[in-house]
Structure 1
Amino acid sequence: MTYQQLEIEQAQFEQFVKTHPKGDLLQLPAWGSVKAATGWTHERIAVGTSTGQLVGVALLLFKKVPKLPFTLCYAPRGFVVDYTDQAAVAALRDAAIRVAKKRKAITIKLDPNVDRTEYPNLLQEMKELGFKHNGFGGGFDYAQPRFTMETSLEGSEKEIFDRFHSKFRYNVRLAERKGIICYEASRDELKTFANLMVETGERDGFSIRGLDYFENLYDHLRPTGDAALFLTKLDVVRALENTEAALLQADKELTKIHRQLEKETVEKKINSLNNRLEQTTAQIEKAEKSKTELMAIAAKHPNGVILSGGLLTLAGRRSYYLYGASSNEYREFMPNHLMQWTMMRHAKAHGAISYDFGGVSGSTDPDDHYAGLYAFKSGWGSEMIEKIGEFDYVLNKPLYLLLETGLPILQKLRKKLRR
C-alpha cells in the first residue's frame, strides 16, 4: 500500500488520536498548545490513502537550541499509527523529515505508546527505516518514563475496587469514615492546588510547576472535557456525625452484650461475650478519642480544610493521573486514597478503560530509591507496563553527537523534553 501526506482538520486529528489504540494524551493537538507556553512550537502531520482514508498522525514539537540556529523535534508518545503497517510508519517518517528539515532540526525523537514485547520485529523494522533505538535503560532515563503503572477500568466499579490491595480498600473506606470528601473543583481552585504543590515539593524535595502552568494546562484541555481538577476536604461536621453514629452503635452493642452476660451460664459462651465486650469497649474508647480530636479540628477549621488535590486528564479511552499534591496535615486520614478512587470512577464514567499512574523506575526491589513510589502505584490492582523506548532519526550527525556526548546547552535542552 502506498500512502501520502494529508491535510486534515484539527478535529479529525484529535478524534483519530482519541480512538486509535496507540493514541496518547501527549499527541493531542491541545498538548501542543499547552507546550507553547514554555517556548515550544508544534506542527501536525497526517498520512493516508489517495482517497483520504487516514492511517497515521503525529504531533511534532519543536524547541529552539539556545544560541544556535537549530531545533530539536520531538513526537511525545508518537507516532500514532499501526506499527505492523511499515508503509504507514515510513510515510509518517517522510512527512516528519520534510517538516523537521524546514525547522533545521538536529534529530526527530519519538517514544511510541508501544509495549516492549508487543511487536517482536519492531526494532529491526525501525532500524531499516533509519531510526536509532536508544536502548532499554531505567524508567526515568528518557524524556518519558519507560515503565508506567496502569490500572484497568474494565468491569464494574465493584470489580475494579476488589482488585485493589486490601489495605488500599481499607484506606478508601477509612477516609470516608473520617469525613473526607472528594469533589471536582473549579478553575479558581487551581490556586489552592498550586499551594498544595508548593507544600508537597518542600516536603518531598522536588521542583514544582507554578500556578501559571496548571492554569495553562487546564485552559487548553478542559474545553474538550480532557482535564478535571479534584480536591479532597476534611468535612469535620460529617466526621463528627460518623463518629457519633459509631458511638451510638457501639453503645447498643455494649448494652446487648451486658444483657446476654446476665443470662448466660455456659463458660465458653461467657468467654466469647467477654471478648466481644473488650473489643467493643476498645472501639468506644477509640471513637471517644477521635471525637475529641475532631472537635479540636473543628475549632481550628470550622469550614473544613483542603488536604490534597489531583489533576486528571483524558484522551479517549485512556486516563492519566498527571499531577498530585497533598498537605502535611491529617495525612493519617488517607485523603489521597479516596481521591484516587474518585478520579478512577470519573474517568470510567467518561469512557476511559485504563488509568495511568505515570512512571516508575522499573524495579520492584524494596531497596530501590523509588520503592515507595512503586508501592503506592502498585496497590491499585495496577500492572507495570514496559514501553519500547525512544527512537531517533538523525538529521544532523555532528550536532547529534554533541547532544549525546554532553554539549551543556544541548544536554540542558534535552531535559526539557519531559512533559
Structure 2
Amino acid sequence: MRALSHAEYLGFLDRHRRASFLQYPSWAGVKEQWRSETVGWHTPDGRISGGALILYRQLPGTRKYFAYLPEGPVADWADPDIDHWLTPLMRHLRAAGAFAVRIGPAPAYRRWDAAAAKAGAGPGARVSDVLATEVDPLGTAVADRLRTRGWKRCGGEEDGDAQPRHVFRVPLRGRTLDDVWSGLNQEWRRNVRKATKAGVETVLGTAEDLPEFYRLLDITEQRDGFRLGRSLAYYERQYHVLNAESPGRMRLYLARHEGEVLAAHTMVVAGSRVWYQTGASADHRREVRPSNALQWRMMCDAHALGAEEYDMRGVPSTLDPSDRSFGLLRWKLGTGGQVVETLGEWETPMDGYANTALYKAFQAYLARR
C-alpha cells in the first residue's frame, strides 16, 4: 500500500466506476476540519487493485487521529481473504498516527421492494420487522468476517453511523425510461402530469442560485422538523470543489412556476452512479407538485447519463404512518424503488491499551459535540 496522487486515484476510480462520491478526492475539500490522503493497494506487477480516501480528525490535545473512510475503502469486498488488503490498511493507519478507524463497507445487507415495505406499514412497525425481498449473501459474509476480526458495527443511523444505514434506490440498469415511468405509482405519475399541466419548469441552476436553495432548505427544515446544521458556505464549498474536480459532478435543479422558484434539489454524479442529495421546497403552491417534477427530471437525466441506479439517499427505518418521518419514506416509495439496508459503518481501535483509551475518549468527545 502506498500514497496515490489525486490523478492516479481518480484514474483508478474512473476504471472502477462504482465508488461512492464520498470516496472521491473532492470530498476531502468539503470536510475542512479533516486532513486527508488518497492511498492504493498494488499487485506485484504494479496494478492498483483498490484504493481509499482517508480522512483524519485529530483528537484535541494529542498527536493522534481518528481515521474515517466514508463509504469506503474501494476494495474487493468479495475477496474471502479480507486480511489480504485489510492488514496493509491497518499497518498504514497505525504508521499515520491513527488510534482508531471507521469504514463503510460497500455491500448491501437486505433489500425490500416498495410493495413489501408498504404492506408492512402499521403502528409501531419498522423496516426490520418485514421479511426482506432479498438478503445479500456477500453482505452477510463481510459482516461475519469483520466481526470475527474484532470490528464492531456502529450504533445505528440514529446514534452511530455518520452516513444513512437505510437508503432508497431506484434501479436504472437495463430499464428504458418508459420502464422507469411505469414503475412510478399512480399518485406520482398524476403529480408529474399535474406539474406539467400547471406550467412548472425544471431547469439547471448555477452557483448563483445556491442562496435561494438555502432559503428554501431553511423553510423545509422548519416545516418538516429536522435540522441538517449546515451553512450556506458549506453548500457553496461543496458545489465549487466537486465541480472543480469534474464539471457537472454536483448539479442544482430548480422548479419554477410563474417565475418563482418553488423547489430546489441537488444531485451528485460519479462514475456509473447518481445520488439525489438534498431537497428543499416552499410552503406555498405545493398543489402544483414542483418536487415531483424535479425528481422526474433528475431521474430522466440520470438515465440519460447511463447511471445504473438513482440513489435517493437516506430514509427512516420506521414504517409507522403516525411517525412524522414516515412521510419521507412514503414519498420515495412512490418511485417504485427499493429500501436498502447497507452494512452500515464499522469501527475498531488500533492494537494497544493506549489506543483503546483514546478511542473511548474520542467517542465521549463526539457525544458532547
> Do they fold alike, i.e. is TM over 0.5?
yes
Whichever residue aligns with residue 400 of structure 1, its letter is: Y
Q: CA deviation digits over 1:260-290, x for unaligned, max 9? A: xxxxxxxxxxxxxxxxxxxxxxxxxxxxxxx
| Counterpart in the other structure of 1:299 | none
| Counterpart in the other structure of 1:122 | 142
Q: CA deviation digits over 1:45-101, x for unaligned, max 9? A: 1002111222111111111223443321110111111112244x4354334334433
Contact kept, 8 Å, 1:45 with 1:96, in 2: the verdict is no
Q: CA deviation digits over 1:90-116, x for unaligned, max 9? A: 354334334433443221100112111
| Counterpart in the other structure of 2:242 | 221
| Counterpart in the other structure of 2:123 | none
Structure 1 position 403, deviation (Å): 4.4
- Secondary structure of the structure 1 residue equivalent to 2:274: strand
Contact kept, 8 Å, 1:57 with 1:92, in 2: the verdict is no
Structure 1 position 211, deviation (Å): 1.7
Alignment of 1:399 with 2:358, yes or no, is: yes
| Counterpart in the other structure of 2:288 | 333
- Secondary structure of the structure 1 residue equivalent to 2:253: strand
Alignment of 1:346 with 2:301, yes or no, is: yes
Alignment of 1:55 with 2:49, yes or no, is: yes
Contact kept, 8 Å, 2:77 with 2:106, in 1: the verdict is no
1:333 & 1:177 partners in 2: Cα distance? 9
Contact kept, 8 Å, 1:65 with 1:410, in 2: the verdict is no
Contact kept, 8 Å, 2:172 with 2:310, in 1: the verdict is yes
- Within-5 A mapping of 1:129-208: 130-134=149-153, 137=156, 141-154=160-173, 155-207=175-227, 208=229
Alignment of 1:211 with 2:232, yes or no, is: yes
Correspondence for 2:253 among 227, 230, 253:
230
- Secondary structure of the structure 1 residue equivalent to 2:31: helix
Structure 1 residues 391, 125: closer, same or farther in 2, change over 3 A?
Answer: same
Correspondence for 2:39 among 27, 42, 45:
45
2:156 & 2:212 partners in 1: Cα distance? 37
Counting aligned pairs with the same residue, the percent is: 28
- Secondary structure of the structure 2 residue equivalent to 1:45: strand
| Counterpart in the other structure of 2:129 | none
Structure 1 residues 23, 356: closer, same or farther in 2, change over 3 A?
Answer: same
**Alignment size in residue pairs:** 334
2:157 & 2:236 partners in 1: Cα distance? 32
Structure 1 residues 8, 41: closer, same or farther in 2, change over 3 A?
Answer: closer
Correspondence for 1:93 among 80, 86, 95:
86
Structure 1 residues 369, 69: closer, same or farther in 2, change over 3 A?
Answer: farther
**Structure (1 or 2) with the larger CA radius of gyration:** 1
- Within-5 A mapping of 1:200-279: 200-207=220-227, 208-223=229-244, 224=246, 225-235=248-258
Answer 1 or 2: which has greater helix percent: 1
1:412 & 1:17 partners in 2: Cα distance? 36
- Secondary structure of the structure 2 residue equivalent to 1:197: helix
Alignment of 1:23 with 2:19, yes or no, is: yes
Contact kept, 8 Å, 1:140 with 1:360, in 2: the verdict is no
Q: Which stretch has the larger CA shift, 158-167 or 135-144?
A: 135-144
Q: CA deviation digits over 1:150-207, x for unaligned, max 9? A: 0112311111111011100110110111110010011111121112122222322332
Whichever residue aligns with residue 239 of structure 2, its letter is: Y
- TM-score between the two structures when normalised by the length of structure 1: 0.74
Whichever residue aligns with residue 160 of structure 1, its letter is: V
Q: CA deviation digits over 1:24-55, x for unaligned, max 9? A: 1111111112212xx11111110021112221
Contact kept, 8 Å, 2:170 with 2:335, in 1: the verdict is yes
Root-mean-square deviation over aligned CA pairs? 2.2
- Secondary structure of the structure 2 residue equivalent to 1:361: coil
Correspondence for 1:13 among 6, 9, 12:
9
2:38 & 2:6 partners in 1: Cα distance? 9
- Which ranges in structure 2 are unaligned for 5 or more consecutive residues? 110-135
- Secondary structure of the structure 1 residue equivalent to 2:202: strand
Contact kept, 8 Å, 2:155 with 2:161, in 1: the verdict is no
Alignment of 1:316 with 2:271, yes or no, is: yes
| Counterpart in the other structure of 1:287 | none
- Secondary structure of the structure 2 residue equivalent to 1:31: helix
Structure 1 position 22, deviation (Å): 5.0
Contact kept, 8 Å, 2:17 with 2:270, in 1: the verdict is no
- Secondary structure of the structure 2 residue equivalent to 1:51: coil
Whichever residue aligns with residue 287 of structure 2, its letter is: E
| Counterpart in the other structure of 1:276 | none
| Counterpart in the other structure of 2:367 | 411
Contact kept, 8 Å, 1:131 with 1:393, in 2: the verdict is yes
Q: Which stretch has the larger CA shift, 130-139 or 194-203?
A: 130-139
Contact kept, 8 Å, 1:234 with 1:307, in 2: the verdict is yes
Structure 1 position 366, deviation (Å): 2.2
| Counterpart in the other structure of 1:80 | 74
